[in-house]
Structure 1
């Protein structure tokens, strides 16, 4: 445009009109006016573009450099109007406002909602040159925007009837220009019975206010109006957004709300087609699936708790249709109480391989299987199986609650497939699961020598109202070792200040451990709950394995447990140390951990546990008093249990043992009495042990409160013990009863006197014998040299008597 001359434009003061005329040019350019304004008066120019009948106006700015500063745009700006209905410039002020622009960023292209676009240029600068903005305009045919039969006096409401138009395009009313706000449009697609509609948005650009599209949106309804089921609500940017109707009708609504934000989005453009050739959905609905609205043949199958059914290729049992892609979403239950996995077993399979496919590939004809939930991250390129041909696939089990299948038919036909799906309860427990979804798991030494196991769904919370069994079966001459690394089982009624095990403490949820024997009997080792992790466990010699039973009631749940198992060569009956103590004459003794008081050692490398077992047996009608004198083991019975090292005491051979670990306070006593004349003590250390001082305990044969005690009767405990145990420097009477060690000072002194006298006698005897030996040698020597007078003999005899007298004296001393 030239300010001095413009073909088909009129200048009245500062107004520029661009009018479409028959035979005239249908496009052109425009520039800013050339103005001189030395006194900085306010000045405004108006540009108006008038399209002819069945036309729209398209305006595009090529350059833009207005001297105002956004967002206020003072001193120089451009106001845009793209929804002008009345071409009278005096009515421009009543037209919807399309936005104010300044600075260096131009408005996006605009297409008129009706037949007119206008903008006004305002400035109070002293000089204005044409270069501050330039642009081009076109008068375009509006047939693209006549999607169907238009509703009267409404700019963008159409009905598209399949009997008139089977295929065509759909656009927002000002595409590709920025759409105005507010705006409300609708498109009603009416097909024939048996038809479905395919709608594909190839360009989609709406303002995105978040995933719920609270501002501008396109909503697609699977029916005749907005009371029908919603297929989806869309905003933001999309490419190749494809939608299928379930039946013959579809309703599309486009809404843009009024707001001051200066957003400039293009809108949308797409294509549509009515057809009887799209996949019939009866193969989904007749077999318990649910068609996913908006797709050609995608379906979802949701578990009804351990339910089962069949899935089929489209059009089954007839050949499938070419150029079809269907997705199958088979989802098991997943909530706080339920977790399932999917088992898929094919009954029939026939998908011919693509003609151009490589030897080990399927080409464009395949069935892909996803077992790990890849669809959640759109990782459809990371499938687990791609199958084609006629070979029947193997049974597949999902890794979690989701299994997805994608079927692509390519350009050919085939018989397709039929497969049975079944939902199985998934406890997320390693091991061989029992059939029919029961919470039972077995671990065979012949299959695997070591591994992990855990409570259902660990590290998540286990479900309530559940009973689970774990069996560990060893081969002959093997034992099972189990070590717990985590333990947290609900125990509301347990006393948290003490170890939480046993029937009295564990009444809500618990874990029980049993030794299993070949004759079918089971002997319980213990019941555990709370935070008291069981100590390391070894199956008894002669047992075929170990069974664990986990029970949770219907109320609150915790995270459960995690443990390890190991099948190892059977140890001797006494373990790595220990022994059989059954000497009836001994009546008392000391048992201590290996290396005490130096740290006990962890098992040898490659071994899970190290153990020592002592079996005590005293006279009939007597009991065994066990007094733990010194004690320092890893763990804490109340807060974390004894998972690294444990001392077990069987006071009753017919029930489960007491488990002890931690440290013994200096002034406290750890005193136990057996029920009968038998007891067992076991010390077991796990491979994760770091070692501590260990333990030292005494045991004593006692008779509890007899009517007559022929030996020594303890003053406070009333135990009857052997008299010889008195004053043996061991407290044999029990807790707070030191009567067996009282008044032992004199006895100790007499003992010392006997020892001293005995030593003196021995030394005296040796001296006497040596003196006699010297005297005899001197006598013999003199006889050989002289004739000895009788007086001398008498005198020497006197010396010999002296030696005998010394011997008698030492002898008397020796006899004391």
Structure 2
């Protein structure tokens, strides 16, 4: 669906191109915030080929006073040519990201120049330093017909204050901060200079964390982007102490890191960021928390000046049950019990449990006991958890905290898994009296196998990839990640089958429940799906996509000895997943039972965007449509 401003953009661009109204100083299309948070922009005639009958167009994005601009390219196909020095742009986009008024002329200096394909682009996101950003789409001098589709992107207007470091800038410096724990300031964020833009060359910044006597410091680097190869010319170093003479806890000088956690052993932590005079990247985005390690064993009520007890009206945060579980070589799982194990848990408390996996590990949670006080009806079939004792599970998607589920009463939730290396559980006990409720028991584990069951061997070189060899198992089964519970969000898994000569692979689902909208099963409908291919790294147009929930399925068969099954989930919803059986069969042993399924209302015969629109003529499209109709009649 096109919004009005997107439709207006396409109309303006096509009008300029059609009437030849673009003069040498460029035509201009303006996107201004005025409360608009995001939208799309396109090259003329997208997704068809752009024409060569205009010179250039300026796309100008102007935010409100306290906003910056983010643009992200989703598709890119601009003409370039090979020269003795490499590839040279014939058509290109120049990005002016440091113009506060959104005005450029022939003397303006651009910050980036891009062309070619999306895969060849090192960066796909760009940010302005102020409220404006300008793109110059330039068509090279070439009278021949263009055979390139141009570009598509999304833009967003972001609050500039969202990228402000929470600390006191040291006098006489540009990027060094003192960050101190105070009563109302125990957590916050800090960033590399100019973030989310690229940091400047020859930067040297220090971040000094100073906690109270009973505190330690926890820092989570949500994102780190440094040049590669780097050889530690640009680096981040974290020291356990008040300066660089402390123990070096962590050093980052490689390309990319996400969700890296560092903990101090004292109230002080010192971080040094330094860049050389060569390449520059985005730097880092991080958050910090001062953790209070105090604990009063019996948790007495506060007393007033006359010695009498004061009534506590709100929940008490109990530090003893606020714990961080970090994956270690000798620690890959355990069990957590509610406070007062063996007795009824206390009223009016909050406990927080955080889990930090390492590398490509995922966190799997299984609630093995749940007996929480529930006053709103039947605890074995609770209707909503509002104002009730509860366990709430949170995961992190694109560095944002997302609630995965809230559970109460005595109804056991499904087994859960994180989409990344972090997870959090909060136990909340309301101030109401308890009915001898025993609380909960929670089993957790750090897993590299994604909870995938079956006869496959995990390929340690790739994330969530499993291989099945006919020489080892002629038949067997495989499952979606975390099978037996809900599969994790934002997850992609591959199941690769290698048969012997003259063998084919047959896959049949015994259980299938993958969230999606039939028959599309694509990203445009926010569907999770299972797809199939006879190729290792490319989409197979002849194979279907499966989604939805069905009790039975026709088996699906490969064309040769190699086959690939792919499971992909997005960040929207989750479901129970699937269990599938596989068998390697020889060609002469095949029966009609193993025919590739015909098109049906719940299968996408051609995945979206698999064939460019311009590559199929109307005549060919008509022939294909006729074949589909005949095929449907025959198989019906």
Q: TM-score, normalised by structure 2?
A: 0.37
Q: TM-score, normalised by structure 1?
A: 0.30
> Which has the greater radius of gyration?
1
Larger RCO, structure (CA 8 Å, separation 6 or more): 2
